[in-house]
Amino acid sequence: MLKRTTLFSAHQKLGARLIDFGGWEMPVQYAGLVAEHLAVRSAAGVFDISHMGEVTASGPAAEAFLNWVLTNNIRKLVPGEGQYTLMCNERGGVIDDLYAYKLSADVYLLIINASRTPADVAWLKAQWEKFSQRAEVCLHDASHNYSAVAVQGPKVKDFISDCFPNVSCAAMRVNRVTDLKKNEIAEFHFESGGVLISRTGYTGEDGFEVVGEDVMIQHVWKKLLEKGEPFGIKACGLGARDTLRTEVCYPLYGNELDEETTPIEAGLGFFVSLDKGEFIGRKILAEQKAHGIKKKLIAFKMTEKCAPPRSHYPIWADGKVVGVVTSGTQSPSLGAGIGMGYVPPEVAKLHNHIEIEIRGKRFPAIIVPKPIYKKPQPA
């Protein structure tokens, strides 16, 4: 039996097409993937992300614990700030990629992938068992208590404050939602309760993510669609979420990341703080950083008209298979086939010519800088 989010009936009312995503029955699209994608690039879109997991870590040793299990340096955060980070095994392989927020001194919120929630919670508990200061850390899987939406796009800043008109009441102190800077989080009064709002997202556009209790999020969804309507907001499914994140080369767990792949190989070394002290996976990650890697994540663009590249398609160079596509699609913004994949470092040179095998035929592609799609600069 697939799990359903608190917004399930709202999706049905909007005529969503539903799919199984990590055990959740989620909307893949409403009216159309491309229209939803372009709405987020030019105006606004709202996504149900209630399937994502939430774990809180609190107590005097929470910071030390998180700095041991996560790769980024959590000591850089002040209350109201968040960071992208990774959780690795001893081999440096990625258990999950996630956002860690510091809500207040000694209280942290982790937002984790839906498909990884059981694995993450089991891993965190096992590490907690081994952690010498465990008496001073309280871990709690709050995934069942929270729902969430993401509202993304260049127009969102023009109506989000109408949805949440108050000053913040916890975490980052701001007068209005739009005063939050990228990666900042704050609690705002909403109706009879409160919601957490962060200036984050998974689309490459400006935007916010809103986390709260089920009923609250049902009302937030309605409110965002209502206030965003004059700005062209669209309800968006996982289909558009996937093409948007692929254009800007954000990794998807299960595609670019897994337990046999390290953050260094995935090009996420920026989020690995080797100088913060000991942490799980550090030894391998430091070695890779110093001595190199065997595979490297590249972004590519097809240079001829062809069918869209897709995950698992072989990557060719110099007449042989050198790797595999991890994510691929027809880019709605660029009108061309794009993707990411792993190849040996000697192949992974910018502007190198490669080929993607699409249903038995090879088509030319070129290795391009990440992100593949860059926002046009205002004239």
Partner 1 sequence: MSNIPSDLKYTKSHEWVRVSGDTATIGITDHAQAELTDIVFVELPQAGRAVKAGEACAVVESVKTASDIYAPVSGEILESNKTVVDSPALANTEPYAGGWFFKIKLSNPAEANSLMSPDQYKAQVGG
Binding site for partner 1 (CB under 8 A): 28-29, 32-34, 239, 243, 306-308, 310, 329-330, 332, 359
Length of the chain: 379
Q: CB of 34: closest distance to partner 1 in angstroms? A: 4
Q: CB of 369: closest distance to partner 1 in angstroms? A: 23
Smaller CB distance to partner 1: residue 196 or 356? 356
Q: CB of 31: closest distance to partner 1 in angstroms? A: 9
Smaller CB distance to partner 1: residue 32 or 79? 32
Sign of CA dihedral 31, 37, 42, 43: positive
Smaller CB distance to partner 1: residue 360 or 378? 360
Q: CB of 35: closest distance to partner 1 in angstroms? A: 8
Q: CB of 209: closest distance to partner 1 in angstroms? A: 24
Smaller CB distance to partner 1: residue 33 or 66? 33
The tally of CA atoms less than 13 A away on the side-chain side of residue 185 is 29
Cis omega (within 30 of 0) for bond into 371? yes
Please, where are the H alpha helices in 133-236?
160-163, 214-228
The 8-class DSSP code of residue 216 comes to H
- Alpha-carbon span 36 to 333, nearest angstrom: 11
CB 216 within 8 A of CB 210: no
Q: CB of 252: closest distance to partner 1 in angstroms? A: 14
- Alpha-carbon span 47 to 153, nearest angstrom: 11
Q: CB of 26: closest distance to partner 1 in angstroms? A: 14
**Could you identify the residue written with the tokens 């994949």?**
341
Smaller CB distance to partner 1: residue 244 or 264? 244
Smaller CB distance to partner 1: residue 93 or 239? 239
Smaller CB distance to partner 1: residue 163 or 236? 236
Q: Which residues of 218-252 are buried (b: 16+ CB within 10 A; e: fewer)?
A: bbbbebbbebbeeeebbbbbbbbbbbbbbbbbbbb
Q: CB of 337: closest distance to partner 1 in angstroms? A: 9
Smaller CB distance to partner 1: residue 262 or 329? 329
**Could you identify the residue written with the tokens 């800077």?**
181
- Alpha-carbon span 93 to 285, nearest angstrom: 9
Tally of helices (H runs) and strands (E runs) in the chain: 8, 20
Determine the 3-state secondary structure of 170 from DSSP.
strand
Closest-CA residue to 256 (of 291, 295, 284) = 295
Smaller CB distance to partner 1: residue 159 or 313? 313
Closest-CA residue to 267 (of 342, 157, 207, 320) = 342
Q: CB of 32: closest distance to partner 1 in angstroms? A: 6
Question: For residue 73, which phi and psi values (nearest 5 degrees)?
Answer: -90, 105
- Alpha-carbon span 342 to 144, nearest angstrom: 35
